[in-house]
Structure 1
Amino acid sequence: MKDGRQKYKTIKHYHEPSDLHELTFSCYRRITQLTNHEIREKLARSIDLAGEKWRFSLVAFVFMPEHLHLLVWPHDDQPAIDDYLRDVKLPVSVFQKAQLIAHRSRLLQRLTVPSGVDRGQFRR
């Protein structure tokens, strides 16, 4: 960016074997999206499948209307946290976009980036 600011947050991750990790992420623009039972169910299943694939045990979770918290225990010495999070989020995003299109929801427009590099991209 021209003013020297980064586009995305830079978060330093630390890991020691046997550490628990608290992972938090929010819906795009903190728009309430996790009140729909089908979306929460899809998200829960995604968390289970990603945990099996990347060897993360789910210790605790909290779903809030616009964000969630996960407490996970990775079983590998070098856990693939970014890959785990991608596999949690992406299936839910694809499912939600299909649902919004099928129901011709106006929320689809609010979840689409209006300008810039990501213009026209659906955000989750």
Structure 2
Amino acid sequence: MPSLHRKQVKRYDIPGDVRFLTFSCFQRLPLLSRDRTRIFLVEAIERCRSLRPFELWGYVIMPEHVHLIILPGKSMLVAEILKTIKVSTSKRAITWLHQNAPDFLHCLEDLQPNGSGTYRFWQRGGGYDRNLRSTRDVHEKLSYIHENPVRRGLVLKAEDWKWSSALAWQTGIDEPLRIDRENVPRLDE
């Protein structure tokens, strides 16, 4: 029987490096397709910012995955930030399912080789993590994440997707999440 190998994420927690993070729902299920669950995630991100400081430069919440562009606070590890966000969201979503839609829980069951099982909201592993070291990289990733809902056919214009920082970048109105645009370097600098 071949051993299953799961790709490990290499994290380079270099102080001052901006990070481009992607993490997915369990089995790429569209668990973030309802506003209720997206609000759980938004609230988890805001709560995390007070516990494990980081600047949020851009985001998009897609039905089955999330992209964040962050600048971790001094000596803050990305793994700690992600754990705080993911655990909070997962607990709230699974609790809601237990109370309101228990028949759906079997879709989130993750059986271990020893036969025990657990419910998962997020895909195992650390997702995708890339250090962004240039102004151009930051702006390319901002554009990439903002266009994600357009490429998927969810909206015609990036700023029409409520669950993204595209409109905040365009208008300065931070809804549903506050972004820290004041420290983002401009491309012409």
TM-score of Structure 1 vs Structure 2, range by shorter chain: 0.7 to 0.9
Alignment of 1:48-87 (within 5 A): 48-76=46-74, 78-87=75-84
Give yes or no for the alignment of 1:121 onto 2:106: no
Q: Deviations over 1:71-105 (max 9, x none)?
A: 001121x3221111111011111111111111234
**Aligned partners of 2:79, 2:115: CA distance in 1, in Å?**
20
Q: 1:13 to 1:115 in 2, by over 3 A?
A: closer
Contact kept, 8 Å, 1:56 with 1:72, in 2: the verdict is yes
**Aligned partners of 1:51, 1:9: CA distance in 2, in Å?**
28
**Aligned partners of 1:118, 1:79: CA distance in 2, in Å?**
36
The aligned counterpart of 1:37 is 35
Look up the equivalent residue of 1:89 and give its one-letter code. K
The aligned counterpart of 2:182 is none
**Aligned partners of 1:101, 1:44: CA distance in 2, in Å?**
21
Q: Deviations over 1:12-39 (max 9, x none)?
A: 1123332110110000000011011111
CA displacement at 1:117 relative to structure 2:
4.2
Look up the equivalent residue of 1:98 and give its one-letter code. T
Look up the equivalent residue of 1:121 and give its one-letter code. T
TM norm structure 1: 0.86
Report the structure number with the largest CA radius of gyration: 2
**Aligned partners of 2:24, 2:60: CA distance in 1, in Å?**
12
Unaligned runs of 5+ in 2: 122-189
**Aligned partners of 2:41, 2:4: CA distance in 1, in Å?**
32
Contact kept, 8 Å, 2:13 with 2:77, in 1: the verdict is no
**Aligned partners of 2:71, 2:100: CA distance in 1, in Å?**
38
The aligned counterpart of 2:7 is 9
Q: Give the paired residue count.
A: 121
Unaligned runs of 5+ in 1: none
Contact kept, 8 Å, 1:112 with 1:119, in 2: the verdict is no
Look up the equivalent residue of 2:120 and give its one-letter code. R
Identity %: 27
TM norm structure 2: 0.59
Match of 2:89 among 89, 92, 97: 92
Look up the equivalent residue of 1:80 and give its one-letter code. L
Q: 1:11 to 1:98 in 2, by over 3 A?
A: same
Look up the equivalent residue of 1:63 and give its one-letter code. I
